[in-house]
Structure formats: C-alpha cells, structure tokens
C-alpha cells in the first residue's frame, strides 16, 4: 500500500522549517567570483576517476540503480 | 567549473548559480530518460530544500537537445561521512544496506536516495549547514509523490 505524506510513523520527514529557512538564506548571503567557485569545487573533486556508467533496473515497480566504474 | 559524471558544469557569477548541462547525446543523466531526470531533481527540491530550476534545452546534436538546469552555488567543503549519516538519520532515512552511499525510507521504502557521497554533500562554510547538491532519487513505490 502506498505511503502518504500523512503517514509520519513510517515515512521520512520533511526538512524542518528552520533548515529550509537556513538553506534559503544561503542564497544571496555571499558573492563568490568564478575563480573562487572553481577553486572550491576543485578542492572537493575530482568526483570520480574513470568512466562511470549507470543502469536502472525496474522490477515490479521497484527501481534499482546500478553504478559501475571503469578505470 | 568542470565536467562531472552526468553534466558539464558552469558557474554564473551574476546569479551565483551553477549551470549544469547534461552530457549525453542519447539520454539524460544517470537515470536515462528526461522525465526520470527531472522528477529526481524535483524530489531533491522537495525532500532536501534545494532550489534546482529547469533552464532550457541546448542543441548538442542534430536531433538531440541536452537539458540545462541550475542550482544555487553552495560554498564550503565536502561533508564527512558522519555529517551525511546524521543528516539522513535526522530526516528518518536508514542506510539502504545494498548500495554504498544510499539511503531508504525505513518502512514504506518509497525512495532510494543514491550517490550520497561526501563530494555530493556540502558542509556550508559559514553556517555548517549540510547541503546535498547532487543526489539521485529513485522511486520504489510507484505511488510515491513527485
């Protein structure tokens, strides 16, 4: 049986209003240059080495993501 | 900004948003079709309070248009595994158990949130807010809300 948004006992929770407000407040709270954005992204990455491929299998309404990486 | 697994990624300094253009000339993102791709992004907005926007189409091959989206740039560093675990636990998710970096809702198993790796979840620099930025959301229950 499908879960609904009101079925809080067995479903996940929505982000709290405080979290939503905090995330919204991030927008426009600072101004970074393209160079700074690139620097920060380069520190976090590289995301993956090699070639990544995905496939999705659907069985009886269930989707499963398969991820494979070839060096 | 670079090239990820699914997108070519750019930064628009004026809007402080990251622009992502799907790479493939045969499909859209990890899940393949356009509807699944856009539905996953919509769920990222609803479940994790992101504000990803569909921006338009980019002709990348004679008979194929890539999808362009944007989302706010989040300053910070990669979240730790503990950060990610705490974040998803607070939202009621449990480790999927079958896939690394994947989380499920505990009982209904409506959603499978995949790719929750540290480089896809940012700890924002000034507030410490944990911000997922690049997750895959698969639906296990066809009646799950978009």
Best of A3, A7, A57 to substitute, by most chain B Cβ atoms within 10 angstroms, is A3
Predicted local distance difference test score (pLDDT) of residue B104? 85
ipTM (interface pTM): 0.80
Q: Out of B1, B91, B117, whose CB is closest to A41?
A: B1
Q: Is B15 on the interface with A (CB under 8 A)?
A: no
For residue A4, what pLDDT band results from cuts at 50, 70 and 90? very low
Alpha helices (H) in A1-71, listed in sequence order: 17-26, 34-44
Per-residue pLDDT of chain B (146 residues; tens, 9 = 90+): 776 667 888 888 888 999 999 887 777 877 778 888 898 899 899 889 999 999 999 888 888 888 999 999 998 899 999 999 999 999 989 988 777 788 887 765 677 888 898 889 999 988 999 999 988 888 766 555 55
Across the beta sheet with B136-139, the strand order is B94-95, B103-104, B111-114, B136-139
Phi, then psi, of A30 in degrees rounded to 5: -150, 165
A63 and B139 in contact by Cβ < 8 A? yes
Q: How many CB pairs under 8 A join A and B?
A: 132
Contacts of B139 in chain A (CB under 8 A): 63
Does A61 score more than 90 pLDDT? Answer: no
E-strand stretches of chain B = 2-3, 7-12, 17-22, 53-61, 64-72, 76-78, 94-95, 103-104, 111-114, 121-124, 130-132, 136-139
Contacts of A43 in chain B (CB under 8 A): 77
What Å distances lie between residue B142 and A4, B10, B98, B127, CA to CA? 12, 34, 20, 37
Contacts of B124 in chain A (CB under 8 A): 26
User: Residue A66, SS3?
Assistant: strand
Q: Is A17 on the interface with B (CB under 8 A)?
A: no
Average pLDDT along chain B: 85
Q: Is B107 on the interface with A (CB under 8 A)?
A: yes
Specify the pTM.
0.77
What Å distances lie between residue B4 and A15, A23, A41, B73, B98, CA to CA? 27, 24, 11, 15, 24
């Amino acid at each position: 049986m499908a879960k609904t948004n009101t079925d809080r006992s067995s479903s996940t929770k929505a982000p709290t209003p405080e979290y939503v407000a905090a995330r919204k407040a991030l927008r426009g709270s600072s101004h970074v240059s393209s160079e700074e954005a690139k620097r920060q992204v380069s520190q976090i990455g590289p995301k993956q080495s090699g070639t990544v491929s995905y496939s999705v299998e659907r069985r009886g309404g269930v989707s499963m993501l398969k991820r494979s990486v070839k060096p | 900004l670079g090239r990820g697994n699914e997108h070519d990624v750019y930064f628009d300094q004026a809007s402080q948003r990251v622009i992502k253009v799907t790479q493939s000339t045969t499909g859209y993102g990890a899940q393949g079709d356009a509807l699944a791709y856009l539905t996953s992004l919509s769920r990222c907005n609803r479940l994790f309070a992101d504000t990803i926007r569909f921006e338009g189409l980019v002709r990348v091959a004679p008979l194929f248009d890539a999808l362009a989206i944007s989302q706010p740039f989040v300053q910070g560093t990669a979240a730790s595994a503990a950060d990610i675990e705490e974040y998803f636990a607070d939202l009621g998710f449990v480790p999927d158990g079958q896939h690394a970096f994947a989380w499920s809702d505990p009982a209904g198993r409506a959603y499978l949130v995949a790719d929750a790796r540290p480089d896809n979840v940012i700890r924002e620099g000034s507030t410490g807010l944990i911000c997922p930025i690049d997750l895959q959301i698969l639906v296990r229950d066809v009646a799950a809300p978009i």
